[in-house]
Structure 1
Amino acid sequence: MYDLIATSTFGIESITAKELRTLGYENLKIENGKVTFEGDEMDIAIANIHLRTADRVLIKMAEFEAKSFEELFQGTKKVDWSKLIPKDGVMHVVGKSIKSTLHSVPDCQSIVKKAVITSMSESYKIEQFSESGPVYKIEVAILKDIVTLTIDTTGPGLHKRGYRVLSGIAPIKETLAASMVLLSRWRDDFELIDPFCGSGTILIEAAMIAQNIAPGVNRSFICETWPSMNEDDFNSVREGAKKSQKDKDLKIIGYDIDYNVIKFAMSNAERAGVKKYIEFQKRDFFDFSTSRKHGFIISNPPYGERLGEEEILDILYRHMGKVKTKLESWDFNVLTSLENFEKVFGVKSTKNRKLYNGKILCHYYQYFDNDKIKNFGDTLINELMD
């Protein structure tokens, strides 16, 4: 068994933990940017293929205190790296250091690489390593003098689903889009609209969630090249994931004023296998109207990072607020970096939480329809409002 870490963006850890619980994992440890759990090789396959909101799945090799390079070297050397890394393994060391005595990351990386090779030399009884085989990305992360050594099982981040080849300006990560959908409480028997859909990521993730399409089912992971991993584990998990996919009728709509961006979104949806569930339209949000009493809007509208856009966005957000006032029984979920959003929008949110879109600090403003919430049941309410 391994100590496994599912890393995530700040603010999303609780959602990643709920995903892991749904997958059957218990005794979770939730910290800033990560959730720790136990598992074997099969669990590594399950987590990589099924997690929608995590960034990576790491194997924790050791954790110890180090205030000197000697302590860092000895703590790293104690680890039996040969249990996982073969003689020809490529040992690629990366690092980060926050509020720690050992603040020079390059020096820490060099010390860890030297200690890993020393440990491997003692285990394999050789001094030279070809490093011509599978890659093992080792991370030395030091926080307040506590060192955590991990090996990445994922490779390219889990947001790399494989469907988004084309995108518009400033696309949102797939993992954040999935988190927004899961936080919204959207149920697939309600209409879902993104009036600023861009490359379609939010709607594609929503459709994949509704149809139970595992986000990693059509991609590979770096650990699949490792001799210690069983190819049958990944094949079995992928086969099970494909068998559990659904084919529900959905009402999902995306608008954008740029027709070329709409074409990108349609192509992305097709690659994700959900094109038939999403209707994309070239349409301005100022022309938005609906006859439906209930529905959901989940969106990541323009932020106005460029000079001169603030006035335009002020008009846009005020209009969104007016639309929400008219659609009292619709749930609105808006991710934005605008600091005075609620003031401009004109309606105080039911709830908001801090999230990061890349390096941009944003808030996710949520406007819940209380009547609809009552129909969901008290247990579900308590879970979703955590």
Structure 2
Amino acid sequence: MKKYRLIASATMGLESVVKDECKELGFENVETFNGRVEFDGDEKEIVEANLHLRCADRVFIKMGEFKALTFDNLFENIKRLPWENIISVDGEFPISWVSSVKCKLFSKSDIQKIVKKAIVERLRVAYQTERLPETGGAYRVKIQAHNDIFLVMVDTSGEGLHKRGYRNLINEAPLKETMAAALVLLSRWKGGDRPLIDPMCGTGTIAIEAAMIARNVAPGVNRNFASEKWPIIPENLWVDLRD
């Protein structure tokens, strides 16, 4: 299996909780940054991270990180990345999210166009084709730029990891499941004879997440992920790890 640098994005302030989760799962070279935790892993770790991380927002493959001051810089750096190692010949690859803070390149729409064009050129050469139908699985590309440093990622999760799959009806302004799980983990409660009391229960998110922690139920076991449709991840991996 191929090794990747993976990113678990996290709500500001919860990075240390997500880092502890990653270490407990046995992930290697775990590092913490503002709003994210990075670690090394192969296809198996991509599946495990999506199924088991309780407090992360999403799991990404880190494609690259570089400085770009002009659109030519951006184009060449994006084109240099090995997109064909991730995106299949029929893969759909929208530039779904762009942020630019304190950067010379600040136009989000222009960044989207340049990035898309560079990926298309790379894949056309790699697959020796002029046509990329984009009818297959989704590979949503996220660009995060700060102080002219561009972080380029591909989303493996699809919908945010807070969407566990156990709640069909969503009330207004509920506490996110990832935040509820973090509150339980920070309290050090793990079940057993010690009671858990939530006097402001509301829709029961804290109680449900606490019960899943006590029963050791993987938070992502009842939902689907974008990378389930990726050819680089064997289908039996999802089946085996869910079991």
Short-chain TM bin: over 0.9
Give me the whole-angstrom Cα distance separating, in 1, the residues matched to 2:217 and 2:53.
11
AA aligned to 2:15 is E
The equivalent residue for 2:201 is 197
Pairing of 1:336-375 with structure 2 (within 5 A): none
Conservation of the 8 A alpha-carbon contact between 1:167 and 1:198: no
Pairing partner for 2:122 from 119, 135, 147 = 119
Alignment of 1:214 with 2:218, yes or no, is yes
Conservation of the 8 A alpha-carbon contact between 2:181 and 2:206: yes
Conservation of the 8 A alpha-carbon contact between 2:10 and 2:35: yes
The Cα of 1:187 is off from its aligned counterpart by 4.2
The structure whose RCO (Cα within 8 Å, separation 6+) is larger is 2
Pairing partner for 1:225 from 226, 229, 233 = 229
- 74-83 vs 127-136, which deviates more? 127-136
* 2:28 counterpart SS class: coil
Give me the whole-angstrom Cα distance separating, in 2, the residues matched to 1:168 and 1:231.
34
Give me the whole-angstrom Cα distance separating, in 2, the residues matched to 1:65 and 1:178.
36
Gaps of 5+ in 2: none
Give me the whole-angstrom Cα distance separating, in 1, the residues matched to 2:28 and 2:229.
28
Identical residues among aligned pairs (%): 49
Give me the whole-angstrom Cα distance separating, in 2, the residues matched to 1:187 and 1:173.
20
AA aligned to 1:217 is V
The equivalent residue for 1:71 is 73
Give me the whole-angstrom Cα distance separating, in 2, the residues matched to 1:135 and 1:23.
26
CA-based RMSD: 1.1
The Cα of 1:220 is off from its aligned counterpart by 1.2
The Cα of 1:167 is off from its aligned counterpart by 4.3
- Alpha carbons of structure 1 residues 117 and 202: separation in structure 2 relative to 1, 3 Å: same
The Cα of 1:55 is off from its aligned counterpart by 0.6
Give me the whole-angstrom Cα distance separating, in 2, the residues matched to 1:236 and 1:115.
37
Conservation of the 8 A alpha-carbon contact between 2:15 and 2:36: yes
AA aligned to 2:141 is I
Superimposed CA distance per residue, residues 26-67 of structure 1 (whole angstroms, 9 cap, x where no aligned partner): 321100110000000000010000000001110011111001
The equivalent residue for 2:62 is 60
Give me the whole-angstrom Cα distance separating, in 1, the residues matched to 2:38 and 2:236.
25
Superimposed CA distance per residue, residues 154-174 of structure 1 (whole angstroms, 9 cap, x where no aligned partner): 000100101122344421000
Conservation of the 8 A alpha-carbon contact between 1:4 and 1:38: yes
Pairing partner for 1:179 from 178, 182, 191 = 182
* 2:136 counterpart SS class: coil
* 2:63 counterpart SS class: strand
Deviating beyond 4 angstroms after TM superposition, the runs of 4 or more aligned structure 1 residues are: none
Gaps of 5+ in 1: 240-386
Alignment of 1:147 with 2:167, yes or no, is no
The equivalent residue for 1:166 is 169
Give me the whole-angstrom Cα distance separating, in 1, the residues matched to 2:190 and 2:71.
53
What TM-score do you get using the length of structure 2 for normalisation?
A: 0.95
Pairing partner for 2:45 from 34, 43, 46 = 43
AA aligned to 1:102 is L
Give me the whole-angstrom Cα distance separating, in 2, the residues matched to 1:221 and 1:41.
13
